[in-house]
């Protein structure tokens, strides 16, 4: 095999599906693919900080086993030999799983999360765990366990949250695929800011068993540089889990079967602001042009003046009150190694999380009022998704902000950057962010929202975009990472 000649730079831009194809064809070994990824991590991640933990020895052992299976002619999975990363709220047997918290800095699970079991069964090789905010509860991927994950396009800027380490690593070509999680935009936001593709699956489609995930509206999902790669990963991880109470039942469709099908006559609605969001006019113009590119592919694209009320107050109340009054398990307690957040532990939390823990929880009346708002939002979106197949918008109203000092918020409005994204979460829809261009040399994301369990349709629309707006599906930093003056 001519595999050992493959350099880390050669493989940095190769898709997961192409890597798996080369390994299956004997053109590449899994150990060469894993070594290339680890070498690139060693060269770049000292400045990028996308990884919180690496497991190089175990990854190389798995790669050698994968090569042995390939040489013996054994059946190979769709991700055979492909190096990937996982957001560090997903449990991994034998590798620490911290949730970005000092409370779990030494927690080593005895079992893999269900999604990890499925990924390994498909042949994927986990090389490490990616950076996130403590318990995924802050809009910057920073904590007290490791340094902040920064943006590969400009490391003076945030990578987004809460799956910022995953998006930064994929954008920089360290791995072609990563698992993130999204409870209000945490896959789509860092994907938009770093220039990757990310899809938020319908809550319950992907099992969360064996993770720290706790959002009532959340899901684990793929971050990639290729729509096809995301479809392959979603195919692997989606499906009912009888041991996960919130898991959706029913057959999982073939996400690859119609991925390249035409979007002719699909009804597409575009909104630059949902009637209330203050968005950079350059981002509004770029995403509007992206929507119109679907018209060139045969879709029926309209801008019908969608107005949806401000979701933020209700979103915050329901997210924080779900454990008390809803059907969501309480945060931070879904593990056999449960450690209650007692007063003696508060000084070990990041300042933002400690402050939030000290706040009075919402009352039941406040929670019920907020749920009424969310029910109205669900009705409003149901009406629009009856008229249109997908609703599109910017993913973010701004490009990646500069990293603030200390523990300050990166967004001027004091919110979490979820104005565009949280709507899909509370309505239990599916949504993706596609990288559609640059503003000030920084990536812009285009959001595609579909109905509940419409992942195949959303992926097909994004694949159509990939053919006509092919920006962003390549490593964001080849060579020294840029660092601009902080503003």
Q: Is 87 among the residues known to form the active site?
A: yes
Q: What is the pLDDT of residues 45-84, one digit of tens each?
A: 999 999 999 999 999 999 999 999 999 999 999 999 999 9
Q: What is the pLDDT of residues 378-416, one digit of tens each?
A: 999 999 999 999 999 999 999 999 999 999 999 988 889
Q: Is 186 among the residues known to form the active site?
A: yes
What percentage of residues in the chain have a pLDDT greater than 70? Answer: 91
Burial of 59 (0-12, 13-18, 19+ CB in 10 A): buried
Q: What is the pLDDT of residues 167-208, one digit of tens each?
A: 999 999 999 999 999 999 999 999 999 999 999 999 999 999
Quick check: 217 and 182 in contact, CB under 8 A?
no
Rounded to an integer, what distance in angstroms lies between the CA atom of residue 54 and that of residue 52? Answer: 7
Rounded to an integer, what distance in angstroms lies between the CA atom of residue 218 and that of residue 119? Answer: 20
User: How many residues are recorded in the chain?
Assistant: 487
Rounded to an integer, what distance in angstroms lies between the CA atom of residue 311 and that of residue 132? Answer: 24
Rounded to an integer, what distance in angstroms lies between the CA atom of residue 242 and that of residue 237? Answer: 14
Q: What is the pLDDT of residues 212-262, one digit of tens each?
A: 887 889 999 999 999 999 999 999 999 999 998 889 999 999 999 999 999
Query: What confidence tier does 370 reach under pLDDT thresholds 50, 70, 90?
Result: very high
Q: What is the pLDDT of residues 255-282, one digit of tens each?
A: 999 999 999 999 999 999 999 999 999 9
Q: What is the pLDDT of residues 285-329, one digit of tens each?
A: 999 999 999 999 999 999 999 999 999 989 989 988 887 888 666
- CB atoms near residue 309 (< 10 Å): 14
Angle formed by the axes of helices 30-48 and 164-171, nearest 10°: 120
The average confidence (pLDDT) of the chain is 91
What's the pLDDT score for residue 8?
A: 54
The first and second tokens of residue 132, run together, are 């996130």
Among candidate residues 370, 394, 395, 379, the one with its CA nearest the CA of residue 428: 379
Quick check: 384 and 306 in contact, CB under 8 A?
yes
Residues 6+ apart with CB under 8 A from 393: 270, 271, 272, 273, 274, 287, 420, 446, 447, 449
- Taking residues 428-438, report their average pLDDT: 97
Among 26-40, 47-61, 96-110, 263-277, name the one with the lowest average pLDDT: 96-110
∠ Cα 44 49 53 (to 5°)? 105
Rounded to an integer, what distance in angstroms lies between the CA atom of residue 199 and that of residue 448? Answer: 9
pTM of the model: 0.94
- Taking residues 28-32, report their average pLDDT: 97
Of the residues 97, 130, 186, 397, which is catalytic? 186
Is the per-residue pLDDT at 484 higher than 50?
Answer: no
| Chain centroid to CA 120 | 19
Q: Which residues of 324-358 are buried (b: 16+ CB within 10 A; e: fewer)?
A: ebeebbebbeebeeeeebeeeeeeebbebbeeebe
∠ Cα 169 171 175 (to 5°)? 50
Residue 290: helix, strand or coil by DSSP? Answer: helix
Query: Strand locations in 236-281, DSSP E?
Result: 267-270
What's the pLDDT score for residue 406?
A: 95
Among candidate residues 448, 476, 451, 9, the one with its CA nearest the CA of residue 227: 448
Is the per-residue pLDDT at 447 higher than 70?
Answer: yes
Rounded to an integer, what distance in angstroms lies between the CA atom of residue 426 and that of residue 375? Answer: 9
Is the per-residue pLDDT at 341 higher than 60?
Answer: no
Of the residues 50, 87, 159, 393, which is catalytic? 87
| Chain centroid to CA 345 | 29
What's the pLDDT score for residue 7?
A: 56
Residue 230, H or E segment: helix 227-237
Residues 6+ apart with CB under 8 A from 444: 192, 283, 286, 287, 394, 395, 396, 399, 435, 436, 437, 438
Of the residues 85, 97, 130, 162, which is catalytic? 162
Residue 210: helix, strand or coil by DSSP? Answer: coil
Between 469 and 113, residue with greater pLDDT: 113
In the chain, the domains with their CATH numbers are 8-468 (3.90.1300.10)
What's the pLDDT score for residue 334?
A: 47
Q: What is the 3-state secondary structure (H, E, C) of 342-386?
A: CHHHHHHCCHHHHHHHHCCCCCHHHHHHHHHHHHHHHHHHHHHHH
């Amino acid at each position: 095999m001519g595999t050992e000649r493959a350099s880390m730079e050669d493989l940095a831009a190769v898709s997961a599906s192409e890597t798996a194809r080369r390994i299956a064809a004997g053109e590449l070994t899994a150990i060469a693919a894993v070594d290339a990824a680890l070498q690139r991590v060693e060269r770049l991640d000292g400045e990028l900080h996308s990884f919180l933990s690496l497991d190089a020895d175990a990854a190389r052992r798995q790669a050698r086993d994968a090569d042995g299976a390939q040489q013996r002619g054994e059946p190979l999975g769709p991700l055979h030999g492909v190096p990937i990363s996982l957001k560090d709220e997903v449990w991994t047997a034998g590798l620490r799983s911290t949730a970005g918290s000092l409370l779990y800095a030494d927690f080593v699970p005895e079992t893999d999360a269900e999604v990890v079991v499925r990924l390994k069964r498909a042949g994927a090789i986990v090389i490490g765990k990616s950076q996130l905010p403590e318990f995924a509860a802050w809009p910057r991927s920073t904590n007290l366990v490791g340094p902040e994950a920064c943006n590969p396009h400009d490391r003076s800027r945030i990578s987004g949250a809460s799956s910022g380490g995953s998006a930064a690593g994929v954008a920089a070509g360290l791995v072609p695929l990563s698992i993130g999680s999204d409870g209000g935009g945490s896959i789509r936001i860092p994907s938009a800011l770093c220039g990757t593709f990310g899809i938020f699956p319908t809550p319950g489609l992907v099992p969360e068993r064996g993770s720290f995930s706790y959002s009532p509206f959340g899901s684990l999902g793929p971050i990639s540089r290729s729509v096809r790669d995301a479809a392959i990963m979603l195919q692997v991880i989606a499906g009912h889990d009888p041991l996960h109470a919130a898991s959706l039942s029913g057959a999982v469709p073939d996400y690859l079967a119609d991925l390249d099908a035409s979007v002719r006559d699909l009804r597409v609605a575009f909104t630059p602001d949902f009637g209330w969001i203050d968005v950079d006019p350059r981002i509004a113009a770029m995403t509007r042009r992206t929507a119109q590119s679907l018209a060139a592919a045969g879709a029926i694209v309209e801008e019908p003046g969608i107005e949806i009320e401000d979701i933020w107050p209700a979103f915050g109340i329901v997210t924080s009150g779900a454990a008390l009054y809803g059907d969501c398990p309480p945060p931070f307690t879904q593990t056999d190694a449960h450690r209650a957040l007692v007063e003696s532990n508060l000084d070990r939390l990041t300042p933002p999380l400690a402050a939030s823990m000290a706040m009075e929880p919402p009352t039941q009346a406040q929670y019920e009022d907020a749920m009424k708002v969310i029910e109205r939002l669900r009705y409003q979106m149901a009406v629009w998704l009856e008229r249109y197949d997908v609703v599109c918008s910017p993913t973010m109203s701004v490009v990646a902000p500069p990293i603030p000092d200390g523990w300050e918020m990166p967004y001027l409005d004091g919110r979490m950057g979820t104005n565009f994204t949280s709507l899909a979460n509370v309505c239990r829809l599916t949504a993706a962010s596609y990288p559609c261009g640059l503003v000030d040399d920084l990536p812009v994301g285009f959001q595609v929202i579909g109905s509940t369990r419409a992942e195949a349709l959303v992926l097909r629309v994004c694949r159509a975009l990939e053919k006509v707006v092919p920006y962003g599906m390549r490593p964001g930093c080849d060579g020294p990472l840029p660092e601009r003056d902080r503003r």
